[in-house]
Amino acid sequence: MSTTRALPAQLPPDDSAEPDRPSPLAPGLVRTPPQNLEAEQATLGALLSSTGAMARFFAETLETGIVAEEYYRPAHATIHRAICALHHKGEAVDPVTVADELTQRGELTRVGGASYLHTCVQMVPSAANGAQYAEIVRAKAYRRAAIESAQQILQYAYSEEGDEADVRRLVEQHLTQIAAGMPGLSAAPPTTQDLYLPFVAELEEIQNGRQVGLTYGLADLDAVTCGMRPGNVTVIAAQSGVGKTTLALNSAVAAAKAGARVMFSSLEMSSTELMQKICAAEGKLPLHHLTRQNGLTDKGWKEVERLGKELFHTLPLRVYRPDGAALRDIESAARSCVREDGLDVLVVDYLQLVEVEQGRNTTREQAVAAVSRGLKNLAVQLHCHVIALSQLNDDGMMRESRAIKNDASVVIKVERPDMDAPESPRAGEVDIVIEKNRFGPTATITAVALMHYSRIADMTRA
């Protein structure tokens, strides 16, 4: 049995390289990747011998999360799959039953025969340590995956493909995966059997009235949409000046106060302007008092100081004002948040200002669609919720792209009945029109527009 394999195909040597600086991709280089075959055998042996009174050791070993793809030796991966197949069918797992399963699959000879299964059992010092053996196997697999990621980055950096932005994107993607402990190790998608118990647990939470998603800060909106869920996108659309930024910022702060890690990326407002709006909303301070000379009274200053100690000092909210307006800059900042301490909600204000690389014949509609699709992919990759703001035309239609609606799970239009009619009997009200809702019905929610406090509040709480 060989324990050495060649690294992935290397690039040809560069004849123009400096003679005293050998290429890190020298051809013919063969090194043994990190591995521990004894730990792999012991892990399988623990699974094969944890029966009867020792059945709990079987569960403890699998609870480490070890999967077949993490074994270095292919035969060990094959044996692990057979063990898991028997376990999922509720059948006993031991050398005899696993040998029979492998025989039915036509794989027994390939793994070394039934005798090799007994060899694995004999390699186990103690089945009680199965979880520790599995962790050793996983640690070696993690290192191999990190090496593979580094090689892919190195090869791409040495190639002539893409530009520096593409290289940075590749590096950040791999670093994020490695930092998250998921460095690209592939596994088969879960079966409905795997999904059933988590589904029932979430269903029980819903039926008992517990909040499933992160709060938007408005009870009625949470009730209709079930809150913000990871991997999904909410689009908040409105005409200029109606309050879409106010609603989004209120939601970001509410989620952060509930413990969510939030990044608010604004292409329209400065960080100072956003801080002023948060102060106004949370301290019930008139916004215009914060934006003009000598506007704050002593009482107002005390409130600002209180917010600094009680809110801003601990609020897990990051405000990002990119130098440019490129989608890749927002993606880079979001991945940095994931590496730093995680990310639950990303707010982008607003879609039509975000730029993507465009070809000569790319239309504006195609460009906005690319931004929308990029944010949706980012929500899935980073397992966070994205709130994307969108500008409406004067006729109330969303600008440029139907793809915005297609990519969103929830689409909200913000309308102010008193915008064109100050004497309206509905003065001070705001309609939150839910035009699309994958988690429930469409609806129109009426809230209070406390715009002098830069706040939109529930009618019952106003």
- 147-166: pLDDT as tens digits: 888 888 888 888 878 777 88
Q: Please give the span between the terminal C-alpha atoms of the chain, in angstroms, as a whole number.
A: 74
Which residue spans within 170-261 are E strands per DSSP? 233-238
Q: Is the pLDDT of residue 1 over 50?
A: no
Contact status, residue 412 vs residue 234, Cβ threshold 8 Å: yes
Q: Is the pLDDT of residue 104 over 80?
A: yes
The amino acid occupying position 202 is E
Q: Is the pLDDT of residue 326 over 70?
A: yes
Backbone dihedral region for residue 243 (phi beyond 0: left; psi -120 to 50: alpha; all else: beta): left
Considering only CA atoms, which of 39, 106, 50, 124 is closest in space to residue 76?
39
- Compute the distance between CA of residue 429 and CA of residue 51 in angstroms, rounded to an integer: 66
Segment (H or E) for 264: strand 262-266
Contact status, residue 289 vs residue 300, Cβ threshold 8 Å: yes
237 has which bridge partners? 390, 413
Contact status, residue 401 vs residue 412, Cβ threshold 8 Å: no
Domains defined along the chain, listed by start: 32-183 (1.10.860.10), 213-270+309-458 (3.40.50.300)
Contact status, residue 414 vs residue 246, Cβ threshold 8 Å: no
Question: Could you report the per-residue pLDDT of 209-262, keeping only the tens digit for each?
Answer: 776 789 999 999 998 998 999 999 999 998 888 889 999 999 999 999 999 999
The whole-chain average pLDDT of the chain stands at: 83
Q: Is the pLDDT of residue 399 over 60?
A: no
Token readout for 460 is 């019952």
Q: What one-character DSSP code corresponds to residue 341?
A: T
SS3 272: helix
Q: pTM of the prediction?
A: 0.65
Question: Could you report the per-residue pLDDT of 40-93, keeping only the tens digit for each?
Answer: 999 999 999 877 667 778 888 888 889 999 999 999 999 999 999 988 887 889
Contact status, residue 419 vs residue 242, Cβ threshold 8 Å: yes
SS3 249: helix
**Beta-carbon neighbour count of residue 194 at 10 Å?**
12
Evaluated on CA atoms 15, 21, 22, 24, the torsion sign reads negative
> For 55-59, 109-113, 132-136, which range has the lowest pLDDT when averaged over its residues?
55-59
Considering only CA atoms, which of 219, 228, 233 is closest in space to residue 259?
228
Evaluated on CA atoms 203, 205, 209, 212, the torsion sign reads negative
DSSP string over 111-171: GT-HHHHHHHHHT-S-GGGHHHHHHHHHHHHHHHHHHHHHHHHHHHHHSS-S-HHHHHHHH
> To 5 degrees, how large is the angle CA 451–CA 284–CA 248?
50
- Compute the distance between CA of residue 366 and CA of residue 326 in angstroms, rounded to an integer: 15
Confidence of residue 377 (pLDDT cuts 50, 70, 90): confident
Q: Is the pLDDT of residue 447 over 90?
A: yes
Q: What is the reported pLDDT for 207?
A: 83
Candidate ranges 11-25, 284-298, 418-432; pick with highest mean pLDDT: 284-298
Segment (H or E) for 48: helix 37-49
- Which residue did the predictor score with more confidence, 206 or 428? 428
Q: What is the reported pLDDT for 27?
A: 45
Q: Is the pLDDT of residue 21 over 70?
A: no
> Which percentage of the chain shows pLDDT scores above 90?
41
- Which residue did the predictor score with more confidence, 422 or 79? 79
- Compute the distance between CA of residue 388 and CA of residue 407 in angstroms, rounded to an integer: 11
